[in-house]
Structure 1
Amino acid sequence: MNAQTWTLKTTIDGPEDAPVLVLGHSLGSSHVMWDEVVAALADRVRVIRYDLPGHGGSAPAPLDRPMTMADVTAALTRTLADLGVERYHLAGLSFGGLTTLAMGTAAPAGLESIAVFGSGPVTAPLEQWPERAALVREQGAEGLIEATFERWFTKDARTEHADVWQRVRDAFAGCDREGYAQACEVLGSTDLSDDVAAIAVPTLLVAAENDGALNYDTAEPLARTIGAGATPVEVVRLADVKHMSAVERPREVAVALARHIGVDA
Structure 2
Amino acid sequence: MTGKLLNHRLEGPASAPPLLLGPSLGTSYALWDKVAPELAVSYRVVRWDLPGHGGSPADLIGPGATVGDLAGLVLALADSLGVERFAYAGVSLGGAVGLHLAVHHPERLTSLAVICSSAHFNGAGPWQERAEQVRREGLGRLVENAGGRWFAGDFTVPELVRDHRDADPEAYAACCDALAAFDLTEQLPGIATRTLLIAGREDRATPPAHLRQIADAVPGSALVELPGASHLAPAQCPKAVLAALRTHLAGAPRRGVEVRREVLGDAHVDRAQARQTPFTARFQDFISRYAWGEVWTDPTLSRRERSMITLTALVAHGHYDELALHVRAARRNGLTEEEIGAVLLQTAVYCGVPAANSAFAVAQRVLAEDPGEG
Return the TM-score normalized by structure 1.
Answer: 0.89
Is 1:194 aligned with 2:186? yes
- Other-structure match for 1:205: 197
CA–CA separation in structure 2 for the residues paired with 1:64 and 1:107 = 23
SS, match of residue 195 in structure 1 = helix
- Other-structure match for 1:253: 241
Paired letter, 1:207: A
RMSD after superposition:
1.8
Query: Compared with structure 1, are the counterparts of its residues 7 and 109 closer, same or farther at alpha carbon in structure 2 (3 Å cutoff)?
Result: farther
CA–CA separation in structure 2 for the residues paired with 1:209 and 1:63 = 32
CA–CA separation in structure 1 for the residues paired with 2:227 and 2:54 = 29
- Other-structure match for 1:218: 210
CA–CA separation in structure 1 for the residues paired with 2:61 and 2:24 = 21
Paired letter, 1:32: A
Question: Among 144, 147, 158, which residue is 1:146 paired with?
Answer: 144
CA–CA separation in structure 1 for the residues paired with 2:88 and 2:175 = 19
Question: Among 231, 237, 241, which residue is 1:243 paired with?
Answer: 231
Question: Among 100, 104, 107, which residue is 2:105 paired with?
Answer: 107
The alpha carbon displacement at 1:215 in A equals 3.8
CA–CA separation in structure 2 for the residues paired with 1:62 and 1:77 = 14
The alpha carbon displacement at 1:14 in A equals 0.8
Give the conservation status (yes or no) of the 8 Å contact 2:95–2:116: yes
Deviations 1:27-49 (A, max 9, x none): 11110011001122222221101
SS, match of residue 111 in structure 2 = strand
Structure 1 residues 84-103: aligned runs within 5 Å: 84-103=82-101
Give the conservation status (yes or no) of the 8 Å contact 2:51–2:61: no
Is 1:173 aligned with 2:137? no
- Other-structure match for 1:24: 22
The alpha carbon displacement at 1:214 in A equals 4.3
SS, match of residue 59 in structure 2 = coil
Which segment is superposed worse, 174-183 or 132-141?
132-141
- Other-structure match for 1:131: 129
Deviations 1:83-131 (A, max 9, x none): 1012210110111111111111113433111000111101113112222
- Other-structure match for 1:262: 250
SS, match of residue 38 in structure 2 = helix
Query: Compared with structure 1, are the counterparts of its residues 214 and 144 closer, same or farther at alpha carbon in structure 2 (3 Å cutoff)?
Result: closer
Which segment is superposed worse, 85-94 or 61-70?
61-70
The alpha carbon displacement at 1:142 in A equals 2.6
SS, match of residue 170 in structure 1 = helix
Give the conservation status (yes or no) of the 8 Å contact 1:120–1:213: no
4+ runs of 1 displaced by more than 6 Å? none
Paired letter, 2:134: V
Structure 1 residues 29-40: aligned runs within 5 Å: 29-40=27-38
Is 1:8 aligned with 2:31? no
CA–CA separation in structure 1 for the residues paired with 2:194 and 2:244 = 13
Deviations 1:148-171 (A, max 9, x none): 32021122423xxxxxx1110110
Give the conservation status (yes or no) of the 8 Å contact 1:22–1:89: yes
CA–CA separation in structure 2 for the residues paired with 1:214 and 1:184 = 15
Which structure has more RCO (C-alpha within 8 Å, separation ≥ 6)?
1
CA–CA separation in structure 2 for the residues paired with 1:238 and 1:222 = 16
CA–CA separation in structure 2 for the residues paired with 1:155 and 1:223 = 27
Question: Among 222, 225, 245, which residue is 1:234 paired with?
Answer: 222
CA–CA separation in structure 2 for the residues paired with 1:238 and 1:15 = 30
Give the conservation status (yes or no) of the 8 Å contact 2:121–2:206: no
Is 1:57 aligned with 2:87? no
Question: Among 67, 70, 75, which residue is 1:69 paired with?
Answer: 67
CA–CA separation in structure 2 for the residues paired with 1:66 and 1:216 = 28
Give the conservation status (yes or no) of the 8 Å contact 1:117–1:214: no
Return the TM-score normalized by structure 2.
Answer: 0.64
CA–CA separation in structure 1 for the residues paired with 2:162 and 2:212 = 34
CA–CA separation in structure 2 for the residues paired with 1:69 and 1:170 = 24
CA–CA separation in structure 1 for the residues paired with 2:178 and 2:208 = 26
Paired letter, 2:181: S
Query: Compared with structure 1, are the counterparts of its residues 170 and 65 closer, same or farther at alpha carbon in structure 2 (3 Å cutoff)?
Result: closer
Paired letter, 1:191: D
SS, match of residue 29 in structure 1 = coil
The alpha carbon displacement at 1:147 in A equals 2.1
Paired letter, 2:52: G
CA–CA separation in structure 2 for the residues paired with 1:142 and 1:131 = 15
Aligned residues: 252
Structure 2: which 5+ runs fail to align? 254-374
